[in-house]
Amino acid sequence: MLWIIFLGISCGYIGYRSIHKFAKANEAYFTDIFGLKHGVPSHLTLGQQLLALDKDLVKQRFNESIVINLSIGIRL
């Protein structure tokens, strides 16, 4: 579910309702790639996950991964 949220935000979708619209538009892909038995999560479930995220920790880990990738020569 976090990958769906991350991909939605990366594609410019902000907020749990718009991320859900993105997920529904790509439901066949997400269901296949992530093995979702019941399709993509509801907008309420996505909203709960967004509220539960420690946004400072996510930002810190993301920035750390960029530094690591750059230090080993991966082109982004």
**CA 14: distance to chain centroid?**
11
Among residues 13, 75, 73, 74, the alpha carbon closest in space to that of 46 is found at 13
Q: Would you kindly state where each structural domain of the chain is located, as residue ranges?
A: 2-71
Per residue of the chain (76 residues), what is the pLDDT tens digit? 889 998 999 899 989 999 999 999 999 999 999 999 999 999 999 999 989 988 888 888 888 888 887 777 666 5
Q: What's the predicted TM-score (pTM) here?
A: 0.73
Please answer whether residues 21 and 65 qualify as being in contact, where contact means their C-beta atoms are separated by less than 8 angstroms.
no
Q: At what angle do helices 27-34 and 16-25 cross, to 10 degrees?
A: 80
